[in-house]
Structures are given as C-alpha cells and as structure tokens.
Amino acid sequence: MSSCPWRLLTAHGTAVGLPSDADMGNSEVGHNAMGAGRIIQQGASLVEAAIASGALFEGQAWKELVAAPTLHLIGLVSDGGVHSHVDHLRALVREAAAAGVKRIRVHALTDGRDVSARSALAWIEPLDAEFLQYTREGSDVSFASGGGRMHMTMDRYEADWEMVARGWRCHVLGEGRPFATASDAIRTAYAEDPKVDDQWLPAFVVARGGEPVGRIEDGDAVCFFNYRGDRAMEISRAFEGGPEFDAFDRGRTPRVIYAGMMQYDGDLGLPKRFLVQPPAIDHTVGELFAAAGVSTFAVSETQKFGHVTYFFNGNRSARFDEQLETYEELPSDNVPFDQLPEMQARAVTTRAARAIRQHAADHIRLNLANGDMVGHTGNFAATVRAVECVDTCIGVLVEACRDAGAILLVTADHGNADEMFELDKPGKKVMQDGVPKPRTSHSLNPVPFVLLDPTGRWTLADFPGAGIANIGATLLVLRGLVPPADYLPALVRHVD
C-alpha cells in the first residue's frame, strides 16, 4: 500500500446483490460478483421476493411438500442472512400450517458464525413459543433435532463427510441426547461447557415419552431451507442418492419428497426439486476468457476451492474449456482452524508463485482462506497468526509477479478478520464489565483493492462508489478484452 495504488471497495449489501446494506457480504456472493462483473440478485433477495409475492407457495415443489402428512424443515436458524434467514423459516411454517400439513418438524442448525457466538436462544426460544401456539391451534409444530453448523450437516467441498453423517443420524434417525425442547438443549450445552459456542453445539433431539418426535420416515417431505449452495449440496446428495451413494453409511434411508430452497448446483441438477429459481449468471469472466482463448489456472485449498471455481464461474461446476482451464485443490487440514491458523496458505502460495514464474497461464486466481476461516473462530491470537501468514504469502506473490512482469491484484470477498470484537452501540449492549465480546461473523467494512503493476502501464481509475463487482471488467481490460455492456466499469486505466 505504501508503494502501489489502492482503494477501498464495497463488498456487502446491495453492492453484491443482497437485500439491504445491513446484510453482510460472504464468500459465495463475493466470488459471484467478481466473476460476473455486475450485481446479480442473490439467493437472499430472490427468496425474499418469492415469499413476499407468494410465488414460492404457488410452485409445484411446494405443493408436493405440503401434500405429505409430515413436513421436515432443515436449516440454519439465525438472521445472519448468509445461508438462510429465520424469517424464511417462519414463512414456511406459517404457509405449511395454513395448507393443512398435519405435522411440521424443524431440525435446527445453530449458527454462531454469521451472528454472535452464543446467540441461538434469540431465535430458538421465540420459535419454541410460536410452535406451541400453532399446536394449540391444531397444527402439530415442533423442533425435532439440532446441533451446531460446524458439528453436523453443513460440510462443504467434501472436506468432512462425517459432519454430514452426524447430521443424518440426528435429523433422520433421531439419534442424539433427548430434551423436552430445543431451548432446553441449548441452555444445557451452555451450562455444561462454558467455552462451547453455537457453531459446535452437540447433537440433540426433542423427545416425548422417551421417543424422538421427528424421525424422518417413508412418505414424509423434507425441505432444506438454506439458499446458499456450498454447505447444502452434501446433505442433498445424501437424501437424493440411490444405492450408489457411498460417502457414509446412511443405515435406514427413508423414501421422501426432498426439495431445497434453491437448486444448489445447476450442472448436477441438485436437488431435483427446489422452491426458488437460483440466480442466472451468464457471460462470466471465466466464460469470456475461455471464448477469447485466455488460459486460466485456479488454485486454493479445499475450504475455498469451490469459490475460485464454481462460484467465480457463476455457480457452474463444469469448465468452459477443458484445454484452457486448470484447477488445483490442495486438501485442507481437518482440524479446528484456530489450532492451525496458517492452514494451507503457504502451499497454495508456493503453487501459485511457481505458476506465475513459469507463465503457466494467462490468468491465475487463488484464495488464501485464513482471514475468513480463522476469523470465524473468534480467537484473536490465532487470527493474528493467520493474517501474519497471509502477509508473508502476499510477499512471496509480489516477488513472483515482479520477476515474471505479471500484474497482481490483491483484494477480499468480504470483511472478517478486520473486526474481531463487538463493542456496545446505541441501543445494543454486548460488552460485559467493559470487556469487548469476541466477534465471529463477517463485517460490513469495505475491502482493500491493491494494484501491483511491474510494467508501469496501469493505474487505478478514479470514480466513486465502486464495489467488488467492478473487478470483473478490470480482469477483462487487463487482458485486452472489451467488457460486455452490462458490466460495471473497470477499476484500472492506462497511465497517461
């Protein structure tokens, strides 16, 4: 920053297609925006609009779900707005009850990652009361099971199928510690382990008379109500996979009507049923590069591999051109991120630096995941180590680019490690005895965008209001291509 032109870019809210500027950015929408070169209305916005208009409840998938005697709703219960929103869950329950569904069972994944670390009761307790009121009015509504999002169900990129297996055993088979209510389960977990946060709550089931109230049986309907795809695909595969499914032993596999809030992978058609059409993202940077004969090398460790490939390419799993695109995934370590805050950053950097020096591709993109993944732990000391590691890695990439005469762009898909504590704000007290509260969620802060050009031909364009969606046109312009008319302006210009 002391020697290169740089600026700040908006990476949250309406600048990345989310409903409002109070919504935090996230890795999915961030990479979508960078790769699309324009603002795409994202899952949260699309689901909100479909609920408000009633279109969601007029579709064939919803009609099939509410025709079953029991509807199971599985998903992340918070207002974080990254993977799901609790208001969407409320709408599904309300409309299912109105449609006459006899039994509604909610399988809650607690958050603590996109919201405060121990905030689950802010949603679970009111929902327990609301569900009881539905039951008094004639619809049998109840929580059925639950546990922390990093403990069960919400794995991604096949990093830890055992997470999904734990979720399956809890949600489907009814295996878990029994409690009278979901609120009781969470309060007990807090009391027994003062260090556990919502991400890691152990599996529980709600039971009556010693029996779980919400095992999933033949003929039931199941809806996974998260709209974001990366952590929804594996559990969807478990429900929709036939005898060929071998990621884990499912034991009893009920025959159910399964649907996702959205289709999580269009190339794979996963899941077959879904309630809201996902965003259609065409003429992405990757597609335009392939059409122009520009070669690409994308590399990351498992935790962010799908972001530099699938999400950057507009939620597309397949390559645009097998000959021009090379993707390399380095396996992430299966340990808590604050125990190894360096993660695989050095290995990813070594591979990228080698490709830069060898001129292995015209366009190279990588993601160093440390600031995001370690930042989510709320562990300040570990996050310092993570950022120091990334700083060292950036130094390696800078030298490689200078040696190769390559242009380097350094940015982020959202904020996280930049804001590691929560402070009291007007109307919101979070500190205890003046001590800041560890923050585990993303921030609303803008992200840096730094240009290193050893050739001296490029500098930054000067215009207000830019966001990370402007990066798409920037990449095209740097490769000598003309961006499509609907792309946002490029962030660079030729030096006068």
Tell me the catalytic residues: 27
The two tokens of residue 244 are: 């060929």
Q: Is 144 helix (H, G, I), strand (E, B) or coil?
A: strand
Distance CA 414, CA 30 (A): 7
Q: For the stretch 359-394, what's the b/e string if a residue is b when 16 or more beta carbons lie within 10 angstroms of its beta carbon?
A: eebbbbbbbbbbbbbbbbbbbeebbebbbebbeebb
Say which residues have a Cβ less than 8 Å from residue 213's Cβ, sequence separation at least 6. Answer: 105, 142, 144, 205, 206, 207
Whether the CB-CB separation of 300 and 307 falls below 8 Å is answered with: yes
The C-alpha torsion from 49 through 52 and 56 to 58, rounded to 10°, is -130
Whether the CB-CB separation of 81 and 23 falls below 8 Å is answered with: yes
Say which residues have a Cβ less than 8 Å from residue 22's Cβ, sequence separation at least 6. Answer: 13, 444
Distance CA 120, CA 355 (A): 45
Give, as one character, the DSSP assignment of residue 468: G
Distance CA 50, CA 337 (A): 37
